[in-house]
Structure 1
Amino acid sequence: DAMAARHPRRRVRDLLSGPYLGRTLAVWMLWATCGFIQYGLSTWLPTIYKTVYHAPLQLALNLAAGASVLGVVGSLVCAMVVDKVGRKPVINVSFVLCALSLALAGLLHEQSVYVVATLCAFAMGFLASGFITAYVYTPELYPTSVRAMGCGFGGAWLKIAAIFAPTLIAGTIGSGDLSGAFYALALVPFAAALTVHWLGIETKGKVLEQLEA
């Protein structure tokens, strides 16, 4: 009771006011990016491999599955390094490398299906590292009184992005501009990395009471 009395009571509106505004914007961008890339890219990879590069159906599915394997690797790497180097560095580096992989896929989209599939697999692996970190990072940014709400809004942005991303990407692919689709995808994690860098705070090595603004 004494500890609770020393901390002000927070409300939902605090998520978008005062010192929590920057944190909330970083969280929303972080989760929206994860949803946009994860579902926007993974939904269309088998179709891209089969229709654009004329890969057999089984090969297209195998290549798409390979991207999921890299996602597991990215998650394991995150688990091993996030408590050592910090949350923001893992998110920022992962998202920048994800953006670079997607940009290279756009640049080299006229190469073989294996080149594009390898770059997309790396993009999914890097994304997974930042994605898993989001589960660690988000709850650490809010006090107990609004933590569930803060995490809930972040998850809502992931679902919103997951709903619209496949349709947006389909419009680009349908026009035949495959490089444009990859470039557009690359901009999203790059923007998220900048947002987390400038608006997010580092939570490594701190107890929750220290992080309450």
Structure 2
Amino acid sequence: MTDLNERAHALTPSQRLDRARYSREHTRILGGSGVGWALDAMDVGLISFIIAALATEWNLDGTTTGWIASVGFIGMAVGASVGGLLADKLGRRQVFALTLLVYGVATGASALVGGVGALLLLRFIVGLGLGSELPVASTYVSEFAPKRIRGRLVVILEAFWAVGWTASAVIGYFVVPLENGWRWAFAIGAIPAVYALVIRWGLPESVRWLEANGRLAEADAVVRRFETPDARPEPVPEEPPAPRPAMRRGTLADLFRGGLAPRTFALWSVWAFVNFSYYGAFIWIPSILVAQGFDLVHSFGYTLIITLAQLPGYAVAAWLIEVWGRRATLSVFLVGSAASAMLFGTAGEVWQILLYGCLLSFFNLGAWGALYAVSPEIYPTAVRATGAGAAAAVGRVASIAAPLFTPWALGLGGAGLVFTVFAICFAIAAASAWGLSDLKGRALPEV
């Protein structure tokens, strides 16, 4: 065993990570990042319930409530691009913690607002934090994961989104309908500000980022935490690979060089169409049900049931992504999302709303898991967070339009028109997915 360890340690830190067996340290990375991810989802999900309540309490029209949702996505579009750049320059863990702090404080402050103007400003700040955190977290986990299960771990990370969205549905059902319940919901959303301290001091910096920035001693110290007796490295070749050339710091322009341009455009297309359809639908489902004559409690209850279907969607995607690969899994789940959207647009009976809504949740969130898995994989370390962040930023631009489109289209042609448009968007995203590279079972690109 000593000889095996000596040969393993002759490899670079990132190569040793790729060969490490899954350990408690991986669980700590996944769990620590996943809790932050769930808190993000809880915040985004809460606004869908709060909008429905504020529309009644403040007598708001569809345009105003649409802007309350969209202004957060404007912040997310800015945050996604800036957060990715900062993560490539300052480190994954630092930016992850900072973003949690920003949006946690702003969400808590939203509980004190007395009018639409202040709420719009704070929702923009919340969006800055949320938009920065999501691509950084997926990059962080993907860089620690062994190559043979990397996709699966990132999908499991994304599954924490369902946990957070379910938490928001529970809060929406039990808390928001109460007097000043929406204020208490925002106060609960301040939890990420506290959790940011756990992230900052409890989790290590990305080994690949440390290595790319010449901090090899620190990278080696972190890798040793993953090479415990219960996670001994797998056998390695007799001759270690040749050392990689030194990495320079990447820029946005690098996303279109060295053959990356086709992948970048394909990735941006998927992100844009999936964001538009997902947020256009799920932010507005409680309000759509209210508009169809259901009261707040029943609308929120149905939304909670629909939300629960996200969990098996993630579970199936996590299994298939290492069996079928990234592209096939992503495409199939997007086709399922398109079919489910068409069906949901025709739903009139309660059983139809629940069945077709659950199918939409199942397929759409499974697709999200595959999308977050593939996004960091197509770029080298120097621009990995930048690339994932840029794609997320493009998606957020589309999500800005979605909450504004939905109330307008509902007035024009009802739920049938709205969900037909979403189905078309899912179908375009499914076709675009085949322009992505598939790194199932392969090491992440370093240069």
Show the counterpart of 2:276. 36
Higher-RCO chain (CA-CA 8 Å, sequence separation at least 6): 1
- Equivalent of residue 441 in structure 2, options 179, 201, 205: 205
Give the distance between the partners of 2:270 and 2:413, measured in 1 at CA. Answer: 29
Decide which structure has greater helix share: 1
- What is the correspondence of 1:130-145 to structure 2 with a 5 Å cutoff? 130-145=367-382
**Partner AA of 2:410 in structure 1:** I
Larger displacement relative to structure 2 (136-145 or 42-51): 42-51
- How far residue 41 of structure 1 moved from its aligned partner, in angstroms, is 0.7
Tell me which of 90, 109, 133 is aligned to 2:329.
Answer: 90
Matches within 5 A, 1:60-209: 60-106=299-345, 108-109=346-347, 111-197=348-434, 199-209=435-445
Using the TM superposition, give the Cα deviation of residue 38 of structure 1 relative to its aligned residue in structure 2, in angstroms: 2.6
The root-mean-square deviation of aligned C-alpha atoms, in Å, is 2.3
The two structures have a TM-score, normalised by structure 1, of: 0.87
Equivalent AA in structure 2 for residue 123 of structure 1: L
5+ residue gaps, structure 2, are 1-213, 215-241
**Alpha-carbon separation, structure 2, partners of 1:8 and 1:46:** 48
Superposed CA deviations along residues 129-158 of structure 1, whole A, max 9, x for unmatched, are: 110112211111001111111011012123
Aligned residue runs from structure 1 range 14-25, under 5 A: 14-25=254-265
Mapped to 2, the partners of 1:3 and 1:37 lie a distance apart of 44
Deviation by residue 1:23-49 (Cα, 9 ceiling, x = unmatched) = 111221222233223321111111211
- The 3-state SS of whatever aligns with 2:294 is coil
SS in 2 for 1:185: helix
1:55-100: CA deviation from partner (whole Å, max 9, x where unpaired): 2322211111122111122112222221122111110000000001
Contact 2:344/2:356 (8 A) holds in 1: yes
Pair 1:57–1:11, CA change in 2 (3 A)? closer
Question: Could you tell me whether the CA contact under 8 Å between 1:70 and 1:125 is conserved in 2?
Answer: yes
**In the aligned structure 2, how far is the partner of 1:81 from the partner of 1:92?**
12
Q: Is the 8 A contact 1:77 1:129 kept in 2?
A: yes
Conserved? CA contact 1:38–1:124, under 8 Å:
no
Contact 2:247 2:382 in 1 (8 A): no
5+ residue gaps, structure 1: none
Query: Structure 2 vs 1, CA of residues 8 and 57 (structure 1 numbering), >3 Å: closer, same or farther?
Result: closer
Give, in whole Å, the separation in 1 of the partners of 2:391 and 2:358: 25
CA distance in 1, matches of 2:437, 2:269: 14
Contact 2:266 2:432 in 1 (8 A): yes
Distance 2:363 2:374 in 1: 17
Q: How far apart are residue 190 of structure 1 and its match?
A: 0.7
- Is this contact kept in 2: 1:50–1:60, CA < 8 A? yes
Structure 1 letter corresponding to 2:442: K
Residue 47 of structure 1 corresponds to which residue in structure 2? Answer: 287
Given that 1:44 and 1:166 are in contact with CA atoms closer than 8 Å, whether structure 2 keeps it comes out as yes
Question: SS of the counterpart of 1:19?
Answer: coil
Cα offset, 1:3, TM superposition = 3.0
- Secondary structure at the aligned position of 1:4 is classed as coil
Helix, strand or coil at the partner of 1:208: coil
Bigger-Rg structure (1/2): 2
The alignment covers a number of residue pairs equal to 207
